[in-house]
Structure 1
Amino acid sequence: MIRLASVMPSTSMKIAVSRLFPRLYFRRVTAATISGSRHPPITSEPIPASLAQLHLSPIWRSFLIDLRNLLAVLNTRLIRRHPSNSGRVRSGRSSTAPAGRILTRTSTSNELNDDEKGERNESNDENGKEDPEEQKKKEMLRRMRNVFMVTLVIYAAFMLFGPVGDLPPGVVGTTWSDFTGRLLPTGQIWKIVVFPEREIAFVYMYAGAKTASGENLERIYRIQIPSVNRFEGEVRAAEAALKLPPELWTQIQYRRLDGVSSVLTLLVIGAVALGIYFLFKRVKISFNITDVMSSLTKTKLNIIDPHSKGGKLKIKFKDVAGLHEAKIEVSEFVDYLKNPGRYTKLGAKLPKGALLTGPPGCGKTLLAKALAAESSAPFISMNGTEFVEMIGGLGASRIRNLFKEAKSRAPCIIYIDEIDAIGRKRSDASASGFGSGSGEEEQTLNQLLVEMDGMDSAQGIIVLASTNRADILDKALLRPGRFDRHITIDLPTVLERKEMFELYLKRIKLDHKPAYYSRRLAQMTPGFSGADIANVVNEAAIRAASTEKALVTVEELDFSLQRVLAGAEKRSRTLIEEEREIVAYHESGHALVGWLLEYTDALLKVSIIPRTSAALGFAQISPRERKLFTKEELFDRMCMSLGGRAAESVVFNRITTGAQDDLEKVTKSAYAQVKIYGMSERIGPLSFPPQPGFEAEAEFYKKPYSAMLQHAMDQEASNIVSKAYFTAEKLIRDNRNLLEKLARTLLEKEVLSYEDIKALIGPPKYGDKQVIELAEHILPKPESNATF
């Protein structure tokens, strides 16, 4: 630190400042000026008496002189730019300064360059237009800015390189090991002075101190201290280790920094305070705690008012494909908002609210916006998570503001998305801050209940809310008088998926009409939501654009389905030949067992190409939309899932970890047959479905059956899985030749279609299983993906 400060010459700072201010440079007013020199000669300045009185090193004295000169330069620059306030610079005279101060260049009006003339003319124009008081304020702000910046520079430089007390020159830096190994054993240390603020200590030696080998020691040494609190204890421990007598123990003193640092700290604080004061005074900003709280409690509403310019919603019922039953139910709200008199004459009261439930991506928010557009009513929406904040009471305040805004715009529609964020079931534990809820959420929920109770149906305010977790909502929120209507928006049927595909396919350029693909795609995608369908179509368009095609063809739709279902191909994930052979036999085992059983679905494609979804291979089946399954059908599906593990065991006499996903599905199906569907003869027609909200932590809630019954159900589920595995293994052993054909061909081609499998091993044993003819080969979504 000391060495670094010693190489900071005063001349370098003067040159730096002269480059920052090219029209102002440091020199004495002498006739000796080197012609053509970019930087005139710089001479040393005399040390003023005020600085000479300070116990500073010559380096620091020169540094402070340079800073004083910088202030003088800034002041002179302000005077030249605003001569009306500080006196004009008269032409033909030099701007002189007292002895020992910085002097600016003597100049006449003829010597001024074009930039200086432009500045002076601009300053004169401003003075003629602006008010003198405004000029004074601007000048004061400029001065405060300059003082603030220079003070910060001084403070930062002092903290880095500042003096530590009145120390004489000749301080030598040393280390802790050198101190304990060379200095301390001499017993000739006079004292140690510690400065806690800088975490340094100075070791003062007696005059003429020498080491045991006769080496002369310096008078003062400097040590960097890692920890001030432990320094004295470590010194005493080192002295004790050296077995020094107590009379030779070193005296340790603690000192604070001199007053210069305190003065600089006060200067920085004062400059910051004055800067803030003038800043707020200039822009006329008033800081008030009331304004801060009001900004926090202010509700962030999304308001779409059709009566205002550009506030109309463009989404209508015709833009919402499918959802026929849901649109019929909400159409009553549209009729009421448009013709309320028809209902009031009969004494009817429209429900105050409707709860839209269903899986994610099924169009709940879209239907709410379409309802507002059809009724031409203002639409005020807010997310449930926006009501809950860290500061207590904000959620309830925002609920009040929401309904206040709705009443001022009545008739209107309020829409709260993901209401389960504030509408969870209340419990005794959550009231005290424990459990699944919190006090803030309960206050917000209570305020919502109060507002809906106090809302008159004649006001024309309808509250819509959506959630995909209706089972965890509080019962008070679902009772009649609040959310009277519960509208379930389920996954679309095959006809609704056909409409959705046609709607989205119309927005891209196809090589055929949308109807050519919509029926087939709808049959291939059971369980897809509206968001999934939109994603499939969009992925196809992206694929066509990336391959520079003018139209979207069946190839792009095939690619998009594969990408959505199993992930994109990852051919860079190379497998060793042994693993590739295991994957081929594993997938062939799935295909063969499903081909030979009666109640399995038709197989469309088998692939051993690795996918980004971590699947090394997969078998796709043609699913059927069914709601009811027999025991025999569930058993055959389990056998097909275990066909891959059985093939590995038969062919390689060992098993791998590739069947993990298959085993999870089979175990879940077996326990469902025993505990939920009552299909076990041993257990009987009993059903113990998982408790709502406890699926992920089933071991923590009280089970409605004994431990003995639980043991019996575990044994029964294990027996079902074992029986399915033995059945699959027997099919593999009895048809080993067919398995070899499938596996060898799959290793060669990597992908086999339904027709390829039929040509290799013949048609299915129990006849064709609802095979869906496709344009080329579009992959369906399997009801159960047998992934490896």
Structure 2
Amino acid sequence: MIRLASVMPSTSMKIAVSRLFPRLYFRRVTAATISGSRHPPITSEPIPTSLAQLHLSPICRSFLIDVRNLLAVLNTRLIRRHPSNNGRVRSGRSSTAPAGRILTRTSTSNELNDDEKGERNESNDENGKEDPEEQKKKEMLRRMRNVFMVTLVIYAAFMLFGPVGDLPPGVVGTTWSDFTGRLLPTGQIWKIVVFPEREIAFVYMYAGAKTASGENLERIYRIQIPSVNRFEGEVRAAEAALKLPPELWTQIQYRRLDGVSSVLTLLIIGAVALGIYFLFKRVKISFNITDVMSSLTKTKLNIIDPHSKGGKLKIKFKDVAGLHEAKIEVSEFVDYLKNPGRYTKLGAKLPKGALLTGPPGCGKTLLAKALAAESSAPFISMNGTEFVEMIGGLGASRIRNLFKEAKSRAPCIIYIDEIDAIGRKRSDASASGFGSGSGEEEQTLNQLLVEMDGMDSAQGIIVLASTNRADILDKALLRPGRFDRHITIDLPTVLERKEMFELYLKRIKLDHKPAYYSRRLAQMTPGFSGADIANVVNEAAIRAASTEKALVTVEELDFSLQRVLAGAEKRSRTLIEEEREIVAYHESGHALVGWLLEYTDALLKVSIIPRTSAALGFAQISPRERKLFTKEELFDRMCMSLGGRAAESVVFNRITTGAQDDLEKVTKSAYAQVKIYGMSERIGPLSFPPQPGFEAEAEFYKKPYSAMLQHAMDQEASNIVSKAYFTAEKLIRDNRNLLEKLARTLLEKEVLSYEDIKALIGPPKYGDKQVIELAEHILPKPESNATF
């Protein structure tokens, strides 16, 4: 039987290894004489296998002893630092190492001891100066370093003595084509030994083998095998193609490597795992900190309990400006939490939940906090994005912990902000190919549904949630018995904006009373949310402070309003005179067409100052707060939007890219009239609004009409846009002199107000388009005792 010898490492490698691990050595095994062979036997050549052919037991034993000694040295250093030893230095031989082994590192240990003494002296000098927590952190870093050193040594040993990629002397690498074209036809291959684990094969030639041309061949060749399973079949096919008789076919042997590589891998993994385990065990005992997993799975609750010291919410209903209808609805929850007997004696049950919907920045979170403060109930809040993280099942666990905490503090209020993060519609198995409930978000949603079903209304727990995407929430979450109330918090009306401006203006220093500005600012900010209004007031205060003014004036308020609407001015953005002129005529075209039509909105300001929002100019209008529009009103608005493009065409006989935003608005309006509002006589009263949430459904929900009807709708929308453009162009041509006045004055002043335009070209054709004054009417008042 042939015993394969191991691969010999280089001399420098052996010296380095002997210094680290003295007992680790290599043994070469000579090949036995092959009896009965007609060819000379192979002499003792190094055969390139991995560490598999070494004597495993002595190697592993000496390797483990060396690792144990290294750990003993590191452990001695750790013991010396530990306070329980009172600074005693352990000397002599380690009790964990056998006699003689640790003596090979006496000098090294002494050096470590000297270094250690220096470190200990430095540590003792700093004890009176450093914070104890800082010392604990340093100690933890030292221990982590030691574990890293041990891991590095083990990994280095594996890399040194594991399978090597270099070929030893006497072995030549070759390719498959060279094997089949040069070696195989000679018929002098003794055998082929295949090692499946390493996907290599060694070809052993007979002594004195030569090619047909007389070239001497080496004894051993190595081939890299792409596929072990097909190797033998390809060799046989090549021999058949060479028409070699079966008795001359090459002998192929398969050999398995010993488990040294696996043993070393397991040793590395085990050493790292044990090191980490003992490290965290020491850290947990010494520093009394929670486990890593428990910190990851901990529920992140924000609890404000009015019964605890410093836990009262300072926000009341009176601090929330506007939102009158919403405050009336939520005031019933306040009355129930304060006087539950009034409702229970009539058989009424407290609604389990209320969903606050509306655009961002309208005060949904603020209203929830005010509700908790008015009811004097604990307020437990959590964001929807905090439930689901990288650990599976964490979201459902946090839902259970949330409701468990709420039940222990009942009566209380649970508030989940941005619930659409976990409350999205569950996937359909037929559409996605997977069963519902397969995602982490869906498991979290299912747990929330279960908790809200199992919640008793007599416990006094109210679940509030807010979102600005109510259209994507699951229907099971919105049904009665879960979120019974759906409270819409829309953008504030003009009266509510007036209240908000007065509230925020009271917090800054003004040159007049807040009421002096609030009415006008409310008229100029349609579509602004409460957050936008707060931003306008804050920007005015910042502007006044930056210009070193003692009070905020109308100048700063106007500046901040323009900044929020169109961005900051960019006067450093230089425009060539031709572009500046085009922008002036473009904006004048918008203003003139809107001035001459009947159903357009009031024009507040026209500017050609470049802004950071990539706008070279803008025309600010004040749209009336209306919900219903006629076909004629929509058409006039389209004409005003196309007035800039029409002015460019009439004055310069060419058009530019400046009307891109205007064209987008006009196209959207035209298609809405045809496909949604049913305002086209040709198409008729049909409506095909976009269906959110039907992306995975049948094609019918995406496009429930024929290609012919689609073509007709496209033509009708194009006709509406063309008609609006020709109307705007005719108005520009008929009033060219007024356009010239506006454009030239705008080039000179850069900004024109409503009064400036009225002085230049006269009053509007269809009456004054000034902003409609506020209607004086009584705002709704709550019937409960809550203070608004």
Q: TM-score of the superposition, structure 2-length normalised?
A: 0.68
Tell me the residue number matched to 1:46: 46
Change (3 A) 1:228 1:763: farther
Cα displacement (A) at 1:597? 2.0
Change (3 A) 1:640 1:136: closer
Q: Is the 8 A contact 1:361 1:532 kept in 2?
A: yes
Q: Is the 8 A contact 1:620 1:785 kept in 2?
A: no
Corresponding residue SS for 1:142: helix
Tell me the residue number matched to 2:152: 152
Q: Is the 8 A contact 1:5 1:59 kept in 2?
A: no
Cα displacement (A) at 1:744? 3.7
Corresponding residue SS for 2:204: strand
Query: 1:104, 1:468 → 2: CA distance?
Result: 72
Deviates more, 1:8-17 or 1:433-442: 8-17
Query: 2:355, 2:306 → 1: CA distance?
Result: 24
Query: 2:641, 2:667 → 1: CA distance?
Result: 11
Query: 1:581, 1:784 → 2: CA distance?
Result: 61
Change (3 A) 1:102 1:307: closer
Deviations 1:370-403 (A, max 9, x none): 1111111112223344455677765555444433
Q: Which runs of 5+ in 1 are unaligned?
A: none
Query: 1:553, 1:409 → 2: CA distance?
Result: 49
Corresponding residue SS for 1:334: helix
Q: Is the 8 A contact 1:410 1:460 kept in 2?
A: yes
Deviations 1:592-641 (A, max 9, x none): 21222232223222223332222232111233323333333222211110
Corresponding residue SS for 1:451: helix
Change (3 A) 1:448 1:413: same
Q: Is the 8 A contact 1:95 1:105 kept in 2?
A: no
Change (3 A) 1:201 1:564: farther
Query: 1:36, 1:210 → 2: CA distance?
Result: 22
Corresponding residue SS for 1:108: helix
Corresponding residue SS for 2:640: helix
Deviations 1:486-544 (A, max 9, x none): 32211111121112122223333444433332222111111111122122223333444
Q: Is the 8 A contact 1:620 1:782 kept in 2?
A: no
Query: 1:134, 1:91 → 2: CA distance?
Result: 29
Cα displacement (A) at 1:740? 3.0
Deviates more, 1:502-511 or 1:178-187: 178-187
Change (3 A) 1:55 1:575: farther
Cα displacement (A) at 1:134? 23
Cα displacement (A) at 1:152? 2.2
Change (3 A) 1:83 1:341: closer
Q: Is the 8 A contact 1:306 1:377 kept in 2?
A: yes
Cα displacement (A) at 1:646? 1.0
Cα displacement (A) at 1:337? 0.8
Change (3 A) 1:709 1:250: closer
Query: 2:101, 2:776 → 1: CA distance?
Result: 92
Corresponding residue SS for 2:56: coil
Deviations 1:49-74 (A, max 9, x none): 99999999999999999999999997
Change (3 A) 1:303 1:335: same
Deviations 1:661-681 (A, max 9, x none): 212222222333344444444
Tell me the residue number matched to 2:550: 550
Query: 1:737, 1:236 → 2: CA distance?
Result: 97
Tell me the residue number matched to 1:639: 639
Query: 2:193, 2:535 → 1: CA distance?
Result: 73
Cα displacement (A) at 1:484? 2.9
Change (3 A) 1:624 1:258: same
Deviates more, 1:277-286 or 1:733-742: 277-286
Deviates more, 1:687-696 or 1:367-376: 687-696
Query: 1:283, 1:632 → 2: CA distance?
Result: 76
Query: 2:623, 2:585 → 1: CA distance?
Result: 23
Deviations 1:222-277 (A, max 9, x none): 99999999999999999999999999999999999999978865654454354345
Change (3 A) 1:110 1:362: closer
Cα displacement (A) at 1:104? 13
Deviates more, 1:398-407 or 1:695-704: 695-704
Corresponding residue SS for 1:39: coil
Change (3 A) 1:210 1:654: farther
Change (3 A) 1:160 1:237: farther
Cα displacement (A) at 1:320? 0.9
Q: Is the 8 A contact 1:316 1:370 kept in 2?
A: yes
Change (3 A) 1:264 1:533: same
Deviates more, 1:587-596 or 1:175-184: 175-184
Q: Is the 8 A contact 2:51 2:162 kept in 1?
A: no
Query: 2:31, 2:135 → 1: CA distance?
Result: 37
Change (3 A) 1:771 1:781: farther
Deviations 1:738-765 (A, max 9, x none): 3233334434443333344344434433
Deviations 1:432-465 (A, max 9, x none): 7669986665655555444444433322222222
Cα displacement (A) at 1:86? 15
Deviations 1:701-725 (A, max 9, x none): 1666666655554444333222211
Query: 1:327, 1:776 → 2: CA distance?
Result: 21
Cα displacement (A) at 1:554? 3.3
Cα displacement (A) at 1:301? 3.1
Query: 1:306, 1:2 → 2: CA distance?
Result: 85
Q: Is the 8 A contact 2:6 2:29 kept in 1?
A: no
Change (3 A) 1:32 1:115: farther
Change (3 A) 1:451 1:581: same
Change (3 A) 1:421 1:737: same
Change (3 A) 1:502 1:155: same
Percent of aligned positions that are identical: 99
Deviates more, 1:209-218 or 1:339-348: 209-218
Deviations 1:344-365 (A, max 9, x none): 3333333332222222221111
Tell me the residue number matched to 2:766: 766
Corresponding residue SS for 1:767: coil
Q: Is the 8 A contact 2:415 2:464 kept in 1?
A: yes
Change (3 A) 1:168 1:26: closer
Query: 2:342, 2:783 → 1: CA distance?
Result: 48
Deviations 1:518-575 (A, max 9, x none): 2221111111111221222233334444555554443433332222222223345444
Matches within 5 A, 1:462-477: 462-477=462-477
Change (3 A) 1:202 1:653: farther
Deviations 1:104-154 (A, max 9, x none): 999999999999999899999999999999999999999998697256236
Change (3 A) 1:220 1:7: closer
Deviates more, 1:155-164 or 1:496-505: 155-164
Q: Is the 8 A contact 1:89 1:95 kept in 2?
A: no
Q: Is the 8 A contact 2:6 2:53 kept in 1?
A: no
Corresponding residue SS for 1:696: coil
Change (3 A) 1:237 1:225: same
Q: Is the 8 A contact 1:385 1:418 kept in 2?
A: yes
Q: Is the 8 A contact 2:351 2:483 kept in 1?
A: yes
Deviates more, 1:316-325 or 1:709-718: 709-718
Q: Is the 8 A contact 1:27 1:102 kept in 2?
A: no
Corresponding residue SS for 1:15: helix
Deviates more, 1:567-576 or 1:620-629: 567-576
Cα displacement (A) at 1:426? 5.9
Deviates more, 1:52-61 or 1:116-125: 52-61
Number of positions where the alignment pairs a residue of Structure 1 with one of Structure 2? 788
Query: 2:576, 2:3 → 1: CA distance?
Result: 63
Change (3 A) 1:62 1:367: closer
Q: Which runs of 5+ in 2 are unaligned?
A: none
Query: 2:80, 2:287 → 1: CA distance?
Result: 36
Change (3 A) 1:470 1:147: closer
Cα displacement (A) at 1:279? 3.4
What is the aligned-residue RMSD (CA, Å)? Answer: 11.5
Query: 1:36, 1:128 → 2: CA distance?
Result: 84
Query: 2:66, 2:778 → 1: CA distance?
Result: 80
Query: 1:165, 1:511 → 2: CA distance?
Result: 84
Deviates more, 1:568-577 or 1:386-395: 386-395
Q: Is the 8 A contact 1:334 1:374 kept in 2?
A: yes
Q: Is the 8 A contact 2:396 2:444 kept in 1?
A: yes
Change (3 A) 1:654 1:208: farther
Query: 2:151, 2:784 → 1: CA distance?
Result: 72
Corresponding residue SS for 1:770: coil
